[in-house]
Structure 1
Amino acid sequence: MLNFSFRFWCISALLTLLPASAALSAQIAIIIDDVGNNSHRDAAAFGLPISVAISILPHKHLSQKYALMAQEQHREFLLHMPMESMAGIKQESNVLLASMSDKRIVQTLNDAFASVPNALGLNNHMGSRLTQLETPMRTTMSYLHRHGLIFVDSRTTALTQAEAIAKQTKVPALRRHVFLDNELSEAKIERQFNILIKRARKYGRSLAIGHPHMQTIAYLKKRLPTLAQDNVQLIPLSAMLTHQVDNAKPLHIGD
C-alpha cells in the first residue's frame, strides 16, 4: 500500500498541474531548511506562502510540532536529514555516516522519519562527504524508493552522486540550483533571488534553498507577492518534479 507521503505527493502534483497563464513561463520553488530548533525564528517561516516548502531537522524538540503545523497548512515538508560532511564538524548526533552499515543507515532513517511524521521525502543537511559515496547513497535511495518518498539533493558538494543514484533507483528527485542566504545582507539575498529568477526564465523552472533567518524571511515576505509583476510563478515542490531541469548547473556550493 502506498504510504501517506507518496499519496500526498500525488494529490499535490495533480492539483498544481492546472495550466498557468502563458505569460507566467518562469516558475520557481523554494525550500526553507533547518526548521525545528527555534520556536520564534522557525515559526516565522510558516507565514510564507503555502507553496514554500519546509525542511525539518529530526529529533528536535519542535520537529513533530512543525510537521503537524505544515500538515494543517497543507504545506509540503521534508525531513532535513543530517549527513556526514567533509569537515566532520558541527554535525548532528543522529547524522548518517560513511562508517555505518546498511542496517544502521536504515534504522537511522526510520528513527528520523518517525520524528518528522508524514514528510514528503528528504533533502540532505550538510553531507558533502556522504553524498559523494555510492554505497550509503544506494542504501538511502533504496529506502526512499521502498517507502514512496522523494529526494532533493541540496548539493553541498559539486561531487555529489546523490541525485544520479536517486534517479537510478527510481526515486523522484530534484536538485537545488541556488542558495539564497549564504550571506545575510538584503542586497546579497536579493542578488541570489535574481539569479533564481534568471535561471527559471532560461530553463523554465528553478529551485532555491534558504533558511529561517530573519533577513531571509523578511525579504521573501516582501518579494514573493510581487512575482506576478515579473511574470514569474511560485510553485510547490511536487509540481517541480513534473519538469526536471537537469541541464541547469547549481550555484554557490555550501556545506
Structure 2
Amino acid sequence: MRPPAPQKPQTRGRLRVFFFCLLAFVAGFGAGAGWLSARAARPAPPVPPVSVSATGTPSGAREEASSVSATPSPQREEAADSEQEASAPTAPAPSPLFLPTPVPSGVGRVALVVDDMGYDLAVARRLVGLGLPLTWAILPDAPHAAATAKIARDAGIPYLVHLPMQAQGDGDDGPYAVASGWSAEVIRERSLRAFEALPGAFGVNNHRGSRATADRVAMERFLSVLQEARPGWIFLDSRTNGASCGFSVAQEKGIRTSRNDRFLDHRDEDEAIRAAFEAGASLARRKGQAILIGHPRPRTVHFLERLSRGDAIPPGVELETLPDLMGLVSEEAGGGRP
C-alpha cells in the first residue's frame, strides 16, 4: 500500500490564513456585541420638565402681552357751537399667536348726517338741491326748526331730533334736555318737549353733551324716556366724548342704536374735510359701513356739492341715508319718506 503523499507547502499556508481570519472574525464579533450591549444599558439623559400654564400653553412659548389701558380717553372741552371729533375706541393688541382674520375689502356704505339744522333755510334748500342721500339732525329749539322739518318732509329727507345735552364746562342750568345730576322728571319733561317739536323725526342724536353722555345715570334716565315715549325711534350716539356710554346703555335697553364714526368737519378746512371723508370711506370699506357727521358750514356744504357731482367719492363707496344704513322700514324712518 502506497503511503499518502505529503501535503504541499502551498496548501498548509492557505489553511493557516483561513484559521487566522476565522479567529479574527469571532473576536471582532464578540467585541462588537459587547459594545452594543454596553450602549443599550447606558441611562438616557434626563428630560427637563415643561411647566404648563392654566391655559395649557407651555411657559416657554408664552409671549409678554403689551399692556392696554382700560382708562377711557380724557374728557375734552367742547366749544359752545361745535362738537368734538369722535375718538375711536381703543382695541386690544392682537395676540402674536392668534392673528385676527382680515375682513375682505368690498363696497363701503357711508351715511352722512348733517347736524345743527334749523338756523338757515337757504342752506337747507341748497342741501336739498344736491340730491344726495343725506340725513338731517334738526335742533328742536332752533328758530326755523319747524320750517326746516317741513322742507325735509317735502323732499323725503329723514331727520333726527338733535337734542341739546350738557357739555363739559357747562353750568347746571342751560338750554338742554339732558344734564348730569338732573332728576328723571326734569329729563323726561324737557325731552318730551323736544320730541314734540319735531314729530316727523325717526330718532335722536345728541348735540354737544360731552358731560351728559358720560354720565350713566343721566343716559339711563333719558333713554328710558325715549324707549317709553317713542318706541321704534333710534338713538345715534354722536360720541362728542370718547367716554360716552350712550351707545352701550341703548344696547342694554334694546333700543336700536348706532354711533358716529368720525366728524367730517372737526377742522373747518377744505383739505381736512376731504381727508376726514376719505378716512371714513376707508373705514367703511373695511368694516362694511360708517357714519360721518358734518355741519351746515360753507366749506362743508361746498364739499357736499363736490360729492353730488361724483368727483370726490372714492371707488367702492356708496352713500346712503341713516335709515337705509340701519335697515329701518319706511314707516319708521319718518322725514316724509315714501
Same fold? TM cut 0.5: yes
Residue number in structure 1 paired with 2:248 = 164
Larger Rg: 2
User: Is the contact made by 2:109 and 2:290 (CA closer than 8 Å) also made in structure 1?
Assistant: yes
Distance 2:179 2:196 in 1: 19
Distance 1:95 1:43 in 2: 28
Normalising by structure 1, we get a TM-score of: 0.80
Distance 1:242 1:115 in 2: 25
Secondary structure, aligned partner of 1:122: strand
Distance 1:71 1:42 in 2: 12
User: Is the contact made by 1:82 and 1:92 (CA closer than 8 Å) also made in structure 2?
Assistant: no
Q: Percent identity?
A: 26
Distance 1:97 1:223 in 2: 37
Aligned amino acid, residue 275 of structure 2: R
Q: How well do the aligned residues superpose, as a CA RMSD in angstroms?
A: 2.1
Alignment of 1:28-107 (within 5 A): 28-88=110-170, 93-107=175-189
Instruction: List per-residue Cα deviations over 1:100-142 (Å, max 9, x = no partner).
Output: 2111111101111121222111100000000011111112112
Are residues 142 and 204 of structure 1, via their aligned partners in 2, closer, same or farther at CA, if it must alter by over 3 Å? Answer: same
Residue number in structure 1 paired with 2:212 = 130
Distance 1:29 1:229 in 2: 14
215, 228, 246: which is aligned to 2:299? 215
Residue number in structure 2 paired with 1:247 = none
Distance 1:195 1:76 in 2: 25
1:229: Cα distance to partner? 6.4
User: Is the contact made by 1:64 and 1:117 (CA closer than 8 Å) also made in structure 2?
Assistant: no
Are residues 48 and 154 of structure 1, via their aligned partners in 2, closer, same or farther at CA, if it must alter by over 3 Å? Answer: farther
Residue number in structure 1 paired with 2:316 = 231
Instruction: List per-residue Cα deviations over 1:146-197 (Å, max 9, x = no partner).
Output: 2121100000011000000011111110110011111222111101011011
1:99: Cα distance to partner? 2.8
Aligned amino acid, residue 158 of structure 1: G
Distance 2:199 2:247 in 1: 23
Residue number in structure 2 paired with 1:251 = none
Distance 1:43 1:35 in 2: 11
Distance 2:244 2:225 in 1: 18
Unaligned stretches of 5+ residues in structure 2: 1-104, 329-338
Residue number in structure 2 paired with 1:152 = 236
240, 243, 248: which is aligned to 2:325? 240
Distance 1:181 1:47 in 2: 21
Secondary structure, aligned partner of 2:205: strand
Secondary structure, aligned partner of 2:275: helix
Aligned length: 220
Distance 1:241 1:217 in 2: 24
Residue number in structure 2 paired with 1:198 = 282
Distance 1:116 1:94 in 2: 16
1:239: Cα distance to partner? 2.2
User: Is the contact made by 2:121 and 2:148 (CA closer than 8 Å) also made in structure 1?
Assistant: no
1:228: Cα distance to partner? 6.8
Any runs of at least 4 consecutive aligned residues in structure 1 with deviations exceeding 4 A, and if so which? none
Distance 2:202 2:163 in 1: 13
Instruction: List per-residue Cα deviations over 1:41-85 (Å, max 9, x = no partner).
Output: 344333343521000001222111111111111111000000001
Q: Mean Cα displacement is larger for which, 228-237 or 174-183?
A: 228-237
Distance 1:239 1:37 in 2: 26
